[in-house]
Amino acid sequence: MSTSPTAPSTRRRTVAPYAFLAPAVLLFGAFLALPIGYAVYLSLRTVQVRGLGLGKGSREEVWAGLSNYSKAITDPDFAASVLRVAAYGVLVVPAMLGLALLFALLLDSPRARATKFSRLAIFLPYAVPAVISSLLWGFLYLPSVSPLYFVFGKLGWDVPSVLGSGSVIYAVANIAVWGGVGFNMVVIYTALKAIPTEIYEAAKLDGCSEVSIAWRIKVPVVLPSLIMTFVFSLIATLQVFAEPVTLRPLTNTISSTWTPLMKVYRDAFTRDDLYSAAATSVVLAVATFVLSFGFLRLVQNRAFSQEN
């Protein structure tokens, strides 16, 4: 009988964690798990048309198996969009992370001045929505309205449009780099501020310069942050959508299937083929997971082998 007063408190302690987790679990299930499950379900279905496809009952949803996946993977438009995004990632990810690391190291330098203003100025483009930033850069890219091309014309320079077929990928990549450097810089800079100052003092006593400290101490210490930002950048690269869609009305060099997500959008809302769009979406989701998880495992295996 002496343990009965503690029973309700023990029960509350047992139930409390689940009560706090319940809202997050419900939101995850309603807005992430269920949509993913429904997309997988749609990817395995298709519409069978009977006769001329007119009248009630002429269209019936039937089981399709893996035919939608086969059609999505073998689609030349999908293959071209994947190669295009791969080239886009090769341009964006190294440039964005390289600039983020450079800015973080410069701001962490003892000689840096106006660091608060500099951090805000570098981070500010990240706060601009992708559609707005694409519109701003699109205004600068158009020769007919761009003040830059007006200046080039006055100087007698014949500069081709960056929205041409050979350079439009650089135009889209520039918008992504401009908007993404700030976030990655903040992540890396935060990791740098966690390094004890005693390490820098010991390195200076050993005769290390600022460049040596940055290369031999700071960069290895923030390597986990660089890995995390690389994974985030990889996921964002595979999901690029807003920038090319916003620039598409300004040029004829960006097709409706310029990126895989644009192809998904075209199939779902232009061709009204939700089943192929769902299959392509699932393929992209699996590819994103495999690449991200594979890269993390590769890094972990290398770190483990170096420790041993």
Q: What is the pLDDT of residues 169-199, one digit of tens each?
A: 999 999 999 999 999 999 999 999 988 888 8
Predicted pLDDT at 8: 66
Q: Is residue 35 part of a domain?
A: no
Cα distances (Å, whole numbers) of residue 13 to 2, 4, 5, 22, 173: 19, 15, 14, 15, 51
Domain count, the chain: 1
- pLDDT value at position 1? 45
pTM summary value: 0.86
How far apart are alpha carbons 169 and 240 in whole angstroms? 12
Q: How confident is the model over 200-208, as a mean pLDDT?
A: 85
pLDDT (tens digit, 9 = 90+) per residue, 33-67?
Answer: 899 899 999 999 888 776 555 656 667 778 888 89
CATH number for the domain that contains residue 148: 1.10.3720.10
**Tens digit of pLDDT for each residue in 260-297?**
999 999 999 998 889 999 999 999 999 999 988 888 88
* CA–CA separation, 264 and 81 (whole Å): 11
pLDDT digits (tens, 9 = 90+) for 17-40: 888 889 999 998 998 889 989 999
Query: Are the CB atoms for 11 and 19 separated by under 8 Å?
Result: no
Instruction: Label residue 229 by pLDDT band (50, 70, 90).
Output: very high
104 in any annotated domain: yes
Q: What is the model's pLDDT at position 210?
A: 85
| 91 located within any domain | yes
pLDDT of residue 55: 59
What's the rounded Cα separation, in Å, for the pair 13 and 7?
10
281, part of any domain: no
Identify whether 255 is part of a domain. yes
CA 144 to mean position of chain CA atoms: 32
Q: Please give the pLDDT value at position 77.
A: 93
In a domain, 22, yes or no: no
- Look-up: residue for tokens 């290390």? 208
Domain extent for 255 = 75-272
Does residue 130 lie in a domain region? yes
Q: Quick one: pLDDT band at residue 204, thresholds 50, 70, 90?
A: confident
Give me the pLDDT at residue 56, please. 64
pLDDT of residue 7: 62
Tokens of 270: 């232009």
Taking the CA atoms of residue 131, residue 291, residue 215 and residue 106 in that order, the dihedral angle to the nearest 10 degrees is 10
Question: Which H or E run includes 60?
Answer: strand 59-63
Q: What is the chain's mean pLDDT, rounded?
A: 88
